[in-house]
């Protein structure tokens, strides 16, 4: 006998039940009486109690779990449900990693393959419709394929050799370094009034010492 994933006949009741989970206070037990107290008196809503157990929202005694309480936080409710949906429909996700992105016909084909049932199976359409209702309420962007939240943080490497908005890159200045030798020459000039003598001395100095 095929082992079907979670489903309800009245799958249209799913959004209303999860809406009331957020709005109403957490009950000691999630019972038929509680459903009636929040306005969900139709017998079709009762089938949601075993579904909530399969999703991990209730324990075996119908007591709300930590997952139930986390779901009530609007900032992460869709992700919390997405995690639990991937777990509850684990066999489907084994053959279709991104099953929540598939259309109705594709999901139906995958489920028939997993369950080994024929085209005349009457339960598969209900499973597909139930699954799609859960998908509408879920966020799978931060859920990795094994059904766990992706809590890894991306670490950006900072390259200090590139421009950044608040600190443009300034290339190092190139400096040309040269080395030289300085020297001092003391001349003892002869006492003479002949200008040619001085001219000869300075010309010899220029030709032999000052030219590069």
User: Would you state the pLDDT for residue 201?
Assistant: 73
Residue 211 placed within a domain: no
Q: What is the DSSP track for 9-71?
A: S-GGGHHHHHHHHHHSPPPSS--HHHHHHTT--SGGGGGHHHHHHHTTSB-TTS-B-HHHHHH
Residue 172 placed within a domain: no
Taking alpha carbons only, the member of 86, 124, 89 closest to residue 105 is 124
Q: State the residue range of the domain holding 18.
A: 11-137
Residue 144's pLDDT band, with cuts at 50, 70 and 90, is very low
pLDDT at 26 exceeding the cut of 80: yes
Count: domains in the chain: 1
Segment 47-70, tens digit of pLDDT = 999 999 999 999 999 999 999 999
User: Would you state the pLDDT for residue 202?
Assistant: 72
Residue 205 placed within a domain: no
Residue 105 placed within a domain: yes
Residue 143 placed within a domain: no
Average pLDDT of the residues of the chain: 83
Residue 22 placed within a domain: yes
Please state whether the predicted TM-score (pTM) of the whole model is above 0.85. no
Residues constituting the chain: 212
- Give the separation between CA 15 and CA 72, rounded to whole angstroms: 14
Residue 159's pLDDT band, with cuts at 50, 70 and 90, is very low
- Among the ranges 77-86, 169-178, 183-192, which has the highest mean pLDDT value? 77-86
Q: In sequence order, what are the beta bridge partners of 167? A: 164
């Amino acid at each position: 006998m095929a082992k079907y994933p979670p489903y309800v006949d009245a799958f249209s009741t799913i959004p209303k039940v999860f809406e009331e989970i957020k709005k109403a206070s957490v009950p000691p037990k999630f019972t038929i009486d509680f459903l009636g107290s929040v306005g969900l008196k139709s017998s079709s809503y009762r089938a949601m109690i075993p579904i909530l157990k399969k999703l991990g929202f209730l324990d075996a005694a119908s007591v709300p779990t930590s997952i139930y309480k986390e779901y009530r936080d609007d900032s992460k409710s869709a992700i919390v449900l997405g995690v639990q949906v991937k777990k509850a429909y684990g066999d489907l996700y084994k053959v279709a990693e991104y099953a929540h992105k598939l259309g109705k016909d594709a999901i139906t084909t995958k489920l028939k393959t997993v369950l080994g049932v024929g085209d005349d199976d009457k339960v598969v359409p209900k499973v597909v419709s139930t699954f799609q209702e859960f998908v509408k309420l879920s966020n799978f962007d931060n859920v990795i394929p094994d059904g766990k939240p992706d809590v890894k943080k991306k670490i950006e490497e900072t390259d200090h050799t590139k421009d950044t908005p608040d600190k443009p890159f300034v290339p190092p200045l190139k400096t040309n370094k040269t080395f030289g030798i300085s020297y001092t020459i003391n001349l003892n000039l002869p006492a003479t009034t002949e200008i040619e003598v001085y001219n000869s001395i300075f010309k010899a100095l220029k030709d032999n010492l000052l030219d590069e």
